[in-house]
Structure 1
Amino acid sequence: MTKIRIGGVPEHFNLPWHLAIEDGMFASQGIELEWIDFPEGTGAMNKALRDKEIDLAVILTGGIIKDIAAGNPSKILQLFVSSPLQWGVHVAANSKFKSIEELENATCAISRYGSGSHVMAYVQAEQRGWNTDNLDFEVVNTLENAITTLTNGSADYFMWEHFTTKPIVDKGIFRRLGDFPTPWSCFVIAGREDFIDENSYAVQIVLDTINTVTGDFKNIPSIDRTLANRYEQQLDDIQKWLSLTSWSQEQISIEEIKRVQSRIYKLKMIESIKEPSSYIHDI
């Protein structure tokens, strides 16, 4: 058995992985796939890849491109979710802020520097014409800490995936001011380059297997009810999310890498432009 450690957020996007593991689809092909949850998100996964604590990651596209540009010795293996991520822009229920426009000089809670919440705060600010040099951040690590931080007023707003935070909005803890979709694909599958080179056959099995699952995922009987139960979501919310979400079995395009890299370079989040092909690894 070849052991592979893969990290990802504990969210509904990754149910295909759990179903495949539970059904023994990897084990039957000689792969011991260990799933490791990262509630802290992309920044924590980038660190884990650098520290060789995981081998692969299902990770936000903008976040991994930013970190590879900064020296993370990892490569993108393929897209996982090709549709945009719907980032909800949240404030505490009793916050004075009534619109996103009012947040220009407010403090933004982020899971950590280099995370998706950090990158998207810059992207949203630039798109709205705010001075990105003036952005102020409070690191909260997890969604639970974000709730505490917004409630006690240590930060003013927090950007996180719309449907993951929907139950918190429904409970009257957060108030959503609006949504901000990523101008690129949600998630890619990435891995440490040294691990990929040494285990290319096993990695290919992992990709082929998960692509088989995601290719038919929406057709699984009662998958909407399974998702709603496992992730404590309302059925109609899950059905809307499924209608907005597309899984991919293809490599990320050079054009998309150029677009992401150009955007984060313009935001001064990376120091230089790399050859787009240097971000990817085709097995």
Structure 2
Amino acid sequence: MKTVRIVGVPEHFNLPWHMAIEEGAFQERGIDLQWTDVPEGTGRMCQMLQSHETDLAIILTEGIVKSISEGNPTKIVQEYISSPLLWGIHVSTKSDFKTISELKNTTAAISRFGSGSHLMAFVNARNEGWDTDTLPFKVINNLDGAIEALTQRSADYFMWEHFTTKPLVDNGTFGRLGDCPTPWPCFVIAATDEFLENDTGTLRHILEVINVYTWEFKRIPSIDRTLSNRYGQQLEDIQKWLSLTRWSQQQISIQNIENVKDTLINLKLITKSISPNEILASL
């Protein structure tokens, strides 16, 4: 049995992985796929890939492109979610903020530098016409840290996936001022160069299994109810999320990688432009 370590956020996007693990689909291929939830998100997962704490990660496209551009010995092996991620822009309901424009020059809570919440704050600022050179941030590690920071006014707003934070909007913890979708497919599967070099055959088996699960995922009877119960979401919210979300079974396009890279360069988040061949693995 080949042991493979994989990490991802504890969100509804990753249920196909958990179903495949729980049903023994990887074990049938001789693979012990060991999943670890990383609530801190993409910034932490980039560190784990770089320090060989994991072999694979289900990770935000913009975050891993930035990390690879900065020398992380990792490659994207496949697109996972081909649809954009809808980033909700949240404030404390006790604050006076009513519109996104009022957040200019205020402090964004981010899980960590290099995370999606960090990078998308720049994308949102660019969309709003703000100066992206002077954005202030407060690192809060995870969603619980964001609740604390916004409630205690040590940060002013927080960007996180729309449906994950919906229960906190419903219960009055957060107010949502709007959404900022990613201008590219949101999640990819990344592997360390070491794993790619030594375990290509194992990786192919893993991708074959998960691609069967994601291809069939929306067709599973009552999958909306399963997701609702498992992730504590309202059924109507899950149904809307399912209608917006598309899983992928192929490599992300060079055009999308160039778009991510150009955006990061324009926002001065990376200084070195590397070729798509240095970002994408060819299996």
TM-score, structure 2 as length reference: 0.99
Equivalences for residues 255-266 of structure 1 within 5 A: 255-266=255-266
Equivalences for residues 270-281 of structure 1 within 5 A: 270-281=270-281
Instruction: Determine whether 1:239 maps to 2:243.
Output: no
| Aligned-partner SS, 1:216 | helix
| Aligned-partner SS, 2:83 | coil
Instruction: Determine whether 1:11 maps to 2:2.
Output: no
**Which whole-Å CA distance do the structure 2 matches of 1:251 and 1:84 have between them?**
16
Instruction: Determine whether 1:147 maps to 2:154.
Output: no
| Aligned-partner SS, 2:176 | strand
**Which whole-Å CA distance do the structure 1 matches of 2:138 and 2:38 have between them?**
19
The aligned counterpart of 1:133 is 133
TM-score, structure 1 as length reference: 0.99
The aligned counterpart of 2:43 is 43
**Which whole-Å CA distance do the structure 2 matches of 1:38 and 1:100 have between them?**
29
Runs of 4+ in 1 over 4 A off after TM superposition: none
Provide Cα deviations, 1:216-272, integer angstroms capped at 9, x if missing partner.
Answer: 100001000000000000000000000000000010111111110000001110011
State the 1:278 CA deviation: 1.2
State the 1:282 CA deviation: 1.5
Instruction: Determine whether 1:31 maps to 2:31.
Output: yes
| Aligned-partner SS, 2:165 | helix
1:67 counterpart letter in structure 2: S
Provide Cα deviations, 1:70-117, integer angstroms capped at 9, x if missing partner.
Answer: 010000000000000000000001111100011111100000000000
1:94 counterpart letter in structure 2: K
Identical amino acids, percent of aligned pairs: 58
| Aligned-partner SS, 1:87 | strand
| Aligned-partner SS, 1:54 | coil
Provide Cα deviations, 1:145-189, integer angstroms capped at 9, x if missing partner.
Answer: 100000000000000000000000111000000011000111000
Give the number of aligned pairs. 283
**Which whole-Å CA distance do the structure 1 matches of 2:197 and 2:221 have between them?**
38
State the 1:127 CA deviation: 1.6
Structure 1 unaligned regions, length at least 5 = none
Equivalences for residues 56-205 of structure 1 within 5 A: 56-205=56-205
The aligned counterpart of 2:209 is 209
**Which whole-Å CA distance do the structure 2 matches of 1:282 and 1:94 have between them?**
50
1:136 counterpart letter in structure 2: P
Q: Which moved more, 1:271-280 or 1:260-269?
A: 271-280
**Which whole-Å CA distance do the structure 1 matches of 2:33 and 2:95 have between them?**
43
Q: Which moved more, 1:273-282 or 1:201-210?
A: 273-282
| Aligned-partner SS, 2:163 | helix
| Aligned-partner SS, 1:159 | strand
The aligned counterpart of 2:268 is 268
2:19 counterpart letter in structure 1: L
State the 1:134 CA deviation: 1.4
Structure 2 unaligned regions, length at least 5 = none
RMSD: 0.5
**Which whole-Å CA distance do the structure 2 matches of 1:70 and 1:102 have between them?**
33
| Aligned-partner SS, 2:67 | helix
State the 1:277 CA deviation: 1.8
